[in-house]
Amino acid sequence: MEVSSKLPDVGTTIFTVMSQLATDTGAINLSQGFPSFDPPAALTDRIAWHLRHGGNQYAPMSGIVQLREAIAEKTARLQGRAVHSDDEVTVCTGATEGLFSAIQALVRPGDEVIVFDPAYDSYEPAVTLAGGITQHVPLTIADNDSDFCIDWQRFEDAINARTRLVILNFPHNPTGAILSAADLDRLADVVRDTPAYLLSDEVYEHIVFDGKRHLSLAAHDELWSRSIVICSFGKTFHATGWKIGYCLAPAKLTREFRKVHQFTTFAVSTPMQHGLADYLQSEPAFYETLSAFYQQKRDLFCSLLADTRLSFEPSRSTFFQIVNYATVSDERDVDLAIQWTREIGVASIPISVFCKRPFTGTRLRFCFAKDDATLTEAVGRLAGL
Ligand code: PMP
Ligand code: GLN
């Protein structure tokens, strides 16, 4: 019997496809975003300690108190928002679960949800499963042909009385775009007289370059009252395989979030939570080291790319660099990503898969969260083009 699919248009994610191809062909994998370095040893030591000392049974559904308090302390210190650890912070199974639970909690059948293209690939399927309708608003490409920004006019044209949720992702994967204080005020102007909630995917909050700072929606008084903010420890601690993150939201939204979270996952790995709580308490400054660490990687990668025929503007955030290959090929980005993986031995991510309608042209995303030798070898291969 044929299975009548709830997600007929969804295939296997591009991250799995490209990583598998890189493995099969032995290519350098700069596609799926994961670091080639380990989490801090002091953190893994604390997790190991808790594994051996009884931290192995269910944690509370919302997360252990110590970790929620450490997250609240950090949010107050870095974003100036005093969140209540009891009813405004929830530990979740990576950002993916947090985003999924938030969407299921808020979106009702027939509701519209706005995403900005290129949009991370987990948003739309979650909206579809909730019975919602995804509206894609493309970011606009600035005159330098590199910076991606919100097209406020298109956003204003798209939002309406049926818009239940607007999903934002700044620092932005894949383009590295960030929001300014003026952008947040503009966002507040646009949503003020609408019923829309905001879901802000801020997993790259600690990786912002050139002296800029990440501005969370949690930092903005007016936006915070209608926002759910999702973060991930995976990016921050070089541990994408741990799948642990958290959700910040005002109490009334946290209540709805937890109604879904408790049945999506119930509770998150206990020794991980204890280890992270210990580490956040003993090393509160770790966050502040991350941007400088990744800026060095970005600068190395870009200085190497300067010797190729590819064009780019250095990324403003995240551990991704967008490259425009128009000078070397007019192939479709999906085809070229596969071709370069097979023939040159460097895997990347095509941008068009994150867009409802192609508008970004000839662009690929490379992950520079790798050791220097890997980056040097990879760009050396691209230099031959
Ligand atoms: N959102 C964005 C924009 C991401 O890049 C990622 C992934 N890495 C996630 C969400 C998922 O994060 P996690 O691995 O914590 O589920
Ligand atoms: N977020 C990671 C990326 O953008 C991949 C996560 C995943 O593989 N699902 O590359």
Full DSSP string of 247-300 = EE--HHHHHHHHHHHHHHTSS--HHHHHHHHHHHHH-TTHHHHHHHHHHHHHHH
CA of 353, nearest ligand number: 2
Atom from ligand 1 closest to the CA of residue 96: 16
Q: What whole-number percentage of the chain has pLDDT above 90? A: 95
Closest CA to 239 of 272, 192, 283, 274: 272
Q: How confident is the model at residue 193 (pLDDT cuts 50, 70, 90)?
A: very high
Is 90 exceeded by the pLDDT of residue 384?
Answer: no
Decide if 14-38+287-382 and 41-282 have a common fold.
Answer: no
Closest CA to 287 of 73, 39, 74: 74
Q: Looking at this protein, which amino acid is placed at residue 15?
A: F
Would you give the DSSP letter of residue 151?
-
Q: How confident is the model at residue 87 (pLDDT cuts 50, 70, 90)?
A: very high
**Under CATH, which number does the domain 14-38+287-382 receive?**
3.90.1150.10
Atom from ligand 2 closest to the CA of residue 367: 10
Alpha carbon of 243 to ligand 1 centroid (Å): 9
pLDDT tens digits, one per residue of 137-180:
999 998 877 889 999 999 999 999 999 999 999 999 999 999 99
3-class secondary structure, 44? helix
C-beta 318 within 6 A of ligand 2: no
Q: Return d(Cα 246, Cα 229) in angstroms, integer.
A: 8
Where do the domains of the chain lie?
Answer: 14-38+287-382, 41-282
C-beta 13 within 6 A of ligand 2: yes
- Which residue has the CA at smallest separation from atom 4 of ligand 2? 33
pLDDT tens digits, one per residue of 17-44:
999 999 999 999 999 999 999 999 999 9
Mean pLDDT within 252-279:
98
Q: b or e along 339-350 (b: 16 or more beta carbons within 10 Å of the residue's beta carbon)?
A: ebbeeebbbbbb
E strands, the chain, in order: 28-29, 89-92, 112-117, 133-138, 140-141, 148-149, 163-168, 197-201, 227-232, 245-248, 320-324, 346-347, 349-350, 363-367
Task: Determine the topology of domain 41-282 in CATH.
Answer: Aspartate Aminotransferase; domain 2 (3.40.640)
Tokens of 316: 């403003």
